[in-house]
């Protein structure tokens, strides 16, 4: 069984995190992943402090294993949620879509393990200086808010730039992806899209069906013009958004058009107006299954790949 430093640091069985997906990763999904031996992570997304507190309580009722809280730094409630993490003594905080430096001292003083998502070498170096415990190197194959670099290019450069443990994310959905991440120097992986098909994932059935039917070229990136590129399934909404984007619409118009689109996908399953965030590996998600089974399949799948990895070397 694969065990790494990140397992000891966080008290988890497998070095596998579930991404803190906004609107998707609630207390129930996070608890299921933690019960399965991985690190479940509640995605605060745009929730306010009280909503986050409620999801933490739900997770605590369902598991006594460690779980994390992802703080989306572009959220208007990020500061509020950062405080809730301290008050609730959350064990692990991950951050996304920005620079969490200003919260670091408070989190560290509360004994929280802080693991920011970094999408560049400069950000990895900065996070090392300000006291992060590990970093997540997330390539642009991922769903949602994406950086410029791919996982293949980002992970080895982040591993060279920092002595902190590196978790690889973006484009990983099975044992081969995990093995590749380890070979690039990572000590753990984070999977998002693969967990959209988890039995305990409460997204609308239309969302699950879309993921299960996806093919290789099924995603697209919009929002490059506003500086906030987002990857989603190529449904009606991103196509319309893209048309608006390239017709010269202002950032305000684009933001107004985009507001609520993720909720429409996750809660309503609205195939016309919803934004079905997804990574590029959606086509490799084959069936609905319990989170614990996904974790076991992915991690056990990595072992024979790693053992056979050198068979081509003479």
Q: Which residues contact ligand TUI by CB under 6 A?
A: 22, 45, 72, 74, 96-99, 117-119, 123, 138, 144-145, 147, 228, 230, 277
What is d(CA 159, CA 151) in angstroms, rounded to the nearest whole number?
Answer: 12
Which residue minimizes CB distance to ligand TUI? Answer: 144
Nearest residue (CB) to ligand TUI, 226 versus 289: 226
CB of 146 to ligand TUI, least distance (A): 6
CB of 226 to ligand TUI, least distance (A): 9
Place of tokens 């697209």: 220
Nearest residue (CB) to ligand TUI, 118 versus 283: 118
For 147, phi then psi, to 5°, come to -85, -175
- Pick from 34, 290, 67, 295: which is nearest to 178 by CA? 295
Hey, what are 106's tokens? Answer: 């408070």
3-class secondary structure, 294: helix
Nearest residue (CB) to ligand TUI, 13 versus 48: 48
Helix axes 27-35, 49-62, angle to 10 degrees: 30
CB of 264 to ligand TUI, least distance (A): 13
What is d(CA 184, CA 139) in angstroms, rounded to the nearest whole number?
Answer: 13
CB of 24 to ligand TUI, least distance (A): 9
- Pick from 207, 183, 215, 223: which is nearest to 268 by CA? 207
Nearest residue (CB) to ligand TUI, 63 versus 133: 133
Nearest residue (CB) to ligand TUI, 255 versus 286: 255
Place of tokens 């098909």: 197
CB of 300 to ligand TUI, least distance (A): 27
| Strand (E) or helix (H) holding 107 | helix 101-109
């Amino acid at each position: 069984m694969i065990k790494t430093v990140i397992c000891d640091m966080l008290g988890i069985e497998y070095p596998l995190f579930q991404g803190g997906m906004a609107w998707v990763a609630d207390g129930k999904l996070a608890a299921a992943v933690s019960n399965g031996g991985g690190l479940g992570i509640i995605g605060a997304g745009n929730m306010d402090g009280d909503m986050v507190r409620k999801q933490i309580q739900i997770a605590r009722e369902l598991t006594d294993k460690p779980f994390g809280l992802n703080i989306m730094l572009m959220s208007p409630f990020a500061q509020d949620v950062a405080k809730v993490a301290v008050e609730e003594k959350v064990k692990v905080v991950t951050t996304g879509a920005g620079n969490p430096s200003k919260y670091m001292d408070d989190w560290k003083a509360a004994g929280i393990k802080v693991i920011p998502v970094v999408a560049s070498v400069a950000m990895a170096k900065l996070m090392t200086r300000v006291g992060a415990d590990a970093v997540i190197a997330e390539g642009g194959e991922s769903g949602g808010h994406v950086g410029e670099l791919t996982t293949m290019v980002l992970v080895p450069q982040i591993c060279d730039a920092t002595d902190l443990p590196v978790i690889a994310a973006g484009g990983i959905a099975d044992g081969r992806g995990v093995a590749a991440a380890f070979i690039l120097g990572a000590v753990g992986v984070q999977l998002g899209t693969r967990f959209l098909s988890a039995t305990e994932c409460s997204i609308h059935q239309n969302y699950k069906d879309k993921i299960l039917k996806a093919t290789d070229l099924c995603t697209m990136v919009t929002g490059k013009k506003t500086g906030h590129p987002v990857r989603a399934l190529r449904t009606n909404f991103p196509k319309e958004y893209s048309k608006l984007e390239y017709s010269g619409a202002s950032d305000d118009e684009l933001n107004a058009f985009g507001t609520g689109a993720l909720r429409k996908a996750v809660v309503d399953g609205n195939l016309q107006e919803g934004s079905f965030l997804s990574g590029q590996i959606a086509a490799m998600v084959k069936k609905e299954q319990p989170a614990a089974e996904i974790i076991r399949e992915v991690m056990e799948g990595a072992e024979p790949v790693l053992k056979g990895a050198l068979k081509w070397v003479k």
